[in-house]
Each structure stands twice: as structure tokens, then as C-alpha cells.
Chain A
Amino acid sequence: MEIKKLLFVTKFEELWFDALQSLLNLRNASLNHVVFLNVIEREKVAMRRGSGYQKSEEIRLREKANIRFIDWAETLFEQGMEVGVYIVVGSLVRKVIEAVGKEDVDLIVIGRPKQGKLEQFFSGSDVTEIVRRSAKPVLIYKHLSQDSKFSGEPFERPLLATDWMPASTKAVAYLKKLKGVVKEVHVIHVVQEKSLKGTSAMAVQKTRKECRRKLEEVCEELEAAGINARAHVYIGDSATEIEKAARECQATMIITGTSGKDAWKERWIGSIPKSLTEKSMFPSLLIPLNAEDGD
């Protein structure tokens, strides 16, 4: 599960070359190929009342994107990297999946989704849909500092949220391959408050110790792979506590496994990956349960 090839999906709205540059330390984890993808939304060129399909507009948008990509590619070439480019018209999810299929990338980088609640209700979350269908890790890139628009190196000090489920194990395995990139990992587990209701102080402490023990095992596993790791236990709502922990640990990114909960169920009751994708201020790396293990 090395990161040799990266798919960088941008609409040129909030994800620019500086974001990609902050990820280039992934070269220490074998990154040598970047594929750019710009998806022109169909609504921008098609289904126009009175004017049909706007071929000239499509060409204009393609050329506009191409100019940016050429510029970015030149910089990457200078650094000895390979570059691919896709500029396509259609649905974001479908085109990302197609590009992933063609290029067999190891990581998808995408900006924070700008879907409204209703749009998500009708169509589902684009990002979790990509994770579900691509079986590739997806990094939802966010700028940590609003002023500088620069987030440092997201992989430098990640926070790994684990719930001991298979998807979390997959996330640990993924992290272990990033030895040359990750300096320190904060591993946390959030105990649901409702699971402690009615229990005695002793029982709470027992739960904490049990969680701590499991977290220490994960930390040892990571340290065996050459990555410093620290364990933390939190109690409360998962998404809120993960965000809180990321702040307290000054994390540069949140990593979590995702089991690919049923899309329709997710629309109604939500999920932690969905919440992190939309609400967290931190870049979020979602590792799917069915992510390939091959190197």
C-alpha cells in the first residue's frame, strides 16, 4: 500500500498547486507520479434552455484548465516526477472512479465537498461515494490556516482515530508504510458516553484501561514500523472528540478507516467519515476497508 501514484482532483476553486506541494514529501513514500483531474460539471455546458450543448464553452473550460495543469506539470517534471492529465465533462464521482480505474492510483486527493444538505440527501455525499466505490484512500484536503492558505505537511503529524474495527486495522497498516513521511502519530479511541451510563467509577476506569491497553498495542505496532506513536482515550461524541483531540495534539491530519456504510443509511443517520469530511477543519484521510494491500 505504498503511495506511488496520486490522483489530484481539482475544480480550481479551493485546491491549488500549493496543496499538492505540501504533499510532495510523499516522495519519501515512493510517490513518483501525479495525475491531475479536472471535472467540468455537465451543468456548465449542457442542458441549456435555448442554446443546446455549449461545445465552445467546453473547449474554453478545457483550455483554461489545461493552462494551469501545464504550468503545474512543468514544476513536477523539474522534480523528476511523472504527470498525467484528465480534463473531462460529467459527474464528479463517475469521472474520478473512471480515472482511478484507468490509472490505478494509490491515493485520491480532493477538496472539501461543497454539497448542500439537500443535495446530499438527494444524491449522497460525493466523497464517501468515491471512497465506497474506488476502494482507494481519499484525502480530503483542507487548508489549516485561513490566512496563509498553507497547511504545512498533512502527513507529518496525523491523528489516527480507531474503533478496533477491520477498517481501523487497515488504516494502521496504511500508516506503517509511511515511515519516511510521518514523524509522529496520535492514536485515539473515543468511548461513547452512552456506553458508560449507569456504570461505577471503577467500571469507567476499567473501560479506560482496556482502551488504553488496546491503543498501546497499536502504538507498539507503529513504533515497530519506525513511527513514533502516542495513545489517547476520549469520551463523548465521536466526531466532536476526534476534532477536539486533533486540536489538542496539534495534529496535521485526521486518519480514519471507513467500512463503507450503506449509502442510503448514511444519508439519513450520517457517519463519522462523512462528518469529518464536511465539518472538520483538518485534512481527513479516509481508508476504505476494501483498500488493496498490494505494494
Chain B
Amino acid sequence: MIRHLMTGFIIVLLLVPAVSVSAEKSTSHNTSSPASSPDHVTGDTDTAHSVSTDPHDAHGAGHPNLGESLPLWSCIPFACMLLSIALFPLIFPDFWHHHFGKISAFWALSLGLPFLFAFKGVALYEIIHIILADYVPFIILLWSLYTVSGGILLRGSLTGTPVVNVIMLTIGTILASWMGTTGAAMLMIRPFLRANSHRKNRTFMVVFFIFLVANVGGSLTPLGDPPLFLGFLHGVSFFWTFNLFPHMLFVTIILLGMYFIMDTYYYRKEKADHLQQIDEVKAAASNPGKDPQTNTTASLKLEGTYNFLFLAGVVGAVLMSGVVDWGEINTFGVHRAIQDWVRDGLLILMGILSLAVTPRLLREDNDFTWFPIIEVAYLFIGIFITMIPCLLILKAGSQGALAILIDAVKEPRHYFWVTGTLSSFLDNAPTYLTFFNTALGSFYPGMPEAEAVPQLMGEGSIYLKAISAGAVFFGACSYIGNAPNFMVRSISEEAGTPMPSFFGYILKFSIIFLLPPFILVTIVFF
């Protein structure tokens, strides 16, 4: 199966850029964000497209009235796609595991074929556009981050006292914004589990690890969490996400505080219950790096550190694409900025260099597997294709079939909670993009994306903050809210740490520990 998955993956990764191109310099020039050179259609007479400078071309792409004419039921495949991702792994886990690619393809075709039949060239353009402008860079970034961070291994063990655990969670939270939540979670989870292998109550530790490292920590840069990178691709500048720092700090401090209290309580309780055992722990605590169970020294050692250079390369490539303007290339009728292709090429290069120089042994010790990134690649092609009508309707604002949603979601707190609630159970990346477009359609109907997004970052920034924070923070609410959640769960269970069930996680942890901070965030910031 892997062979087929890989084949599909490479079609997108490697072949798509190999098209006939014609370079031309963009007429508008704004170096502040990628939106300065928006993806737009060429003047192809076979389709009803117009170039992005056409005032009728809302948000710089596609048929001027398509979003207004599409019916609400055209969003059904998108809803089904997201529900499939949410429900199949719970209800039919084996079926899902073996057939998720087919399910994704089914929903993509269920939208794509009728869409092509009804709107022909326009539909073809929209599909190619979303693949080139959103899917390809999205997957390439995730792949490169996953590949590079998978080459870094933290060996050895600390002794899991409350203070040490808080420090490890803090480090993971900080790293998450720069190496992605998946990368940070995979780097830190095994040392975290090893450090606490002697502890009796470990479940809550891993749950807080998911909250902080696998989710909240990823809110500071577009590299941190997939939704924010989608925002970046649509024109949100790289450093704008630093505006979420107060929100992130606020939630992190509350969660770490709660964690420290709980960990201290259980640590003392375990001491009282197992005095003899804790003597060993004490002895180990006075001698950092000593495994309390085996009583052998295991000093901390970071291997594959050269991958941090490639990580810096990834950050630099993404940053570069946001600040330079080298003109555009026509690819299958879609104009993409040259710097975006260069960025994608550099990201692939960083991944390949990481593969080349990192010993295979190190990746094996990391239990590195391509499966999670392949799964994401297959699911997101379905997500992106099925979400085309939804995005077009939302962009049409009150003229579209989702006017009721646009009219209902008005306040920042609405955006925070609606984006968040849906991100808890559906994938947070498409949810982010949905409400990002809801905001654009609501506040700047008919305005090209290149013009609307800077305004959303400026005067409408509170809405964008609410959408971004909602998508990132609420991803922690369930195992399916964000990809690293289930990976951390799996690794923890394999290592012998009992984890709550799907609903147990929500009822015993998310509702109790996440909702109160989110309510406070709403009161303080939105």
C-alpha cells in the first residue's frame, strides 16, 4: 500500500512543477506579504475567466459569479469529507486505515466530476488553482518539516519531577512554533515518557503534553500549525502571527499552572504511597540523568543537530517567499509567484538534504515512519478539492448561499468559538480557511484577496486573531483535532502509558482543563 501512497505523493510533490511556464513580472508590487502577487487566472478565452485585475474577479480568482450561483448542497462533499475523517477512524478504524485514500478520492470525485461537468473550464481552473496555490505548498511544507524534525533525536533521560516536567513542556511549547507541532511533539514525547516512566500517574502528563506541545505551542508562526500556513499562503504575513503571543502566553501559563499543581499533588501522593520506591527517585533526582528504575546513568544527548540548520533553511525559505517579489510564472493557466515556487523548491531541498545526511539508524531510533505524512497528503487532496464550492460561496459574502452563516458570525468571540468548536472535531486547517473566507466575505465582499487580507490583518485583526487562535487552540480538544494528537497517543500507549478513550479525553480533560482557559481568553481578548 505504501508504494501506491508514495506514488500518489510524488505526483504532487515532484511532477506538478514540471509544466510549461512563462515568466512575467507582476504589475503590482508589495513586498509585505505573499498576497502582493496573488494567484490569478490568465486570459484564457476558453474559460470565462478574467485576470485578477478585473474588478469582477472577487478575491482574484475564478468565475466572477460562481460563488453567488453555487447552491448550498455543493458543500455536501466537503462536509462528508470532514465527517469521514472524524468518524471513520472511530467507528471503522481498520476500514479507515486501509482505505482512507479511496475515501478521500471518492469525495474528491463526487465534487470534482459534477463540478467539471457543470462549469467545465471554470471548474478546471478552480481545481488546478487550489492544488497549485494551496495543496502543493501546504504538503511540501509539512513534508519538509516532518522530514527535517524526524532527523533530530533526543536521547537519554531526566527524572520526571514536577519542575523538570514543566521545563520540558515549556521547551516543547516554544519549539512547536518553529519546527511545527508534529516535529516538536515527536522530538519531545519519548524523552518525556522516559523521564516519567517511574511515575504512577502519567496519563494527565501526556494529555497536557498534547494540549501544549502538540497544539497551543504552534500558534506563533505559520510553521507552527497547518492552519496558520494556509493563512500565510493566502496573504497573512509571516510575522503577523506573533500577534497571537499574548493569547498563547495566557493559555500556556494557565495550563502549565494547572499542570504543575496536579503533578505536584500526584508526585507527593506517589511519594507517600511508595516510600521505598520514591527513595530511588530521590536518589536519581539528586543525580540528574540517572534512570530511577534501572539506576543507570543516561545523560541527555541531542543527535542529528545539523537538522536545525535545515530547519533554519525552512524558516528562511518561507520568510523569503513573504518578502520578495520576483514576478510570476504561468503554470497550467494559474499564475504563481516565482518566489513561491522557489520556496517550495528550497523546502524540498531541505528535506532531501536532511534525508541525505541523517543516518538511517537515527531515524529508526526515532521510530520515524512516512505513514502520517502520507495520510495527510491523501486526505488533504480530498479536503482541498471538496472545499472549493464552500470557499467560493463564503467569498461571495451575503450574496452567497452561506449568507446565513456570514450574518450569524459577527463578533470576534463568535469566530473564536465557531472556528474552535469545529476545529476540535474536524481538521483545523480547512476549518481555519473556511472562517478566514467567511471573514473576508463578511467584511470585504467582492474585494480581491490581495487587498482584503492586508485590511483583515490591520483593522480587522481581532477577527483574524480569533480565527487563528480558535483553530490552533481548539485543535487540542480531541484526538482528531490535530494530527500530532493521535501520534502522541499511539506512542504513549505503546510505551505503556494508559491513555483515555476518545470521549474520555474530551470529558475528563478537554472540558475540564481547556474550556475554562478558552472562556478566559474570550473575556480578556475577544
Contact = CB atoms under 8 A, between A and B. Distances in A.
Interface in B472-507: 479-480, 486-487, 489-494, 499, 502
Given A42-B369, A47-B372, A50-B479, A118 B493 contact: no
A15 interface: no
Interface stretch (A89-97, A170-178, A191-199): A89-97
Contacts of A119: 2-3, 6, 370
Interface stretch (A51-59, A145-153, A158-166, A203-211): A51-59
A15 B93 CA distance: 29
B3 A50 contact: no
Q: Indicate the member of A49, A52, A114, A124 with the most B CB atoms within 10 Å.
A: A49
By DSSP majority rule, is chain B's interface helix, strand, loop, or mixed?
helix
B219 to A, nearest CB: 23
A75 interface: no
A123 B493 contact: no
A48 interface: yes
Nearest to B363: A123
B118 interface: no
A87 to B, nearest CB: 16
B274 interface: no
Interface residues of A, number: 28
Interface string A54-79: 11000000000000000000000000
Contacts of B7: 116, 118
B89 A51 contact: yes
Contacts of A124: 360
A116 B4 CA distance: 8
B96 interface: yes
A49 B369 contact: no
A14 interface: no
A115 B3 CA distance: 7
Given A43-B371, A124-B360, A129-B360, A49 B89 contact: yes
Nearest to B371: A43
Interface string A93-118: 11000000000000000000011101
A119 B372 CA distance: 14
B355 A122 contact: yes
A42 B367 contact: yes
Contacts of B93: 48, 50-51, 54
Nearest to A118: B6
A64 to B, nearest CB: 15
A133 B360 CA distance: 11
B77 to A, nearest CB: 20
Contact of B493 (A43, A49, A53): A53
B493 A55 contact: yes
Given A52-B489, A52-B490, A123-B360, A47 B2 contact: no
B353 to A, nearest CB: 10
Interface string B96-119: 110000000000000000000000
B512 interface: no
Contacts of A90: 367
Given A53-B493, A124-B360, A47 B370 contact: no
Contacts of A94: 361, 364-365
Nearest to B365: A94
A113 to B, nearest CB: 11
B9 interface: yes
Contacts of A91: 364, 367
A89 to B, nearest CB: 8
A233 interface: no
A224 to B, nearest CB: 41
B493 A116 contact: no
A47 B369 contact: yes
B275 interface: no
B405 interface: no
19 contacts: A42-B367, A46-B491, A47-B369, A48-B490, A50-B479, A51-B90, A52-B486, A52-B489, A53-B489, A53-B493, A91-B364, A94-B365, A115-B2, A116-B6, A119-B2, A122-B355, A123-B360, A123-B370, A263-B360
Given A52-B490, A115-B3, 16 more contacts: A42-B369, A46-B490, A47-B487, A49-B85, A49-B486, A50-B486, A53-B494, A90-B367, A116-B6, A118-B10, A119-B3, A122-B6, A122-B355, A122-B370, A123-B360, A124-B360
Interface of A: 42-43, 46-55, 90-91, 93-94, 114-116, 118-119, 122-124, 129, 133, 263-264
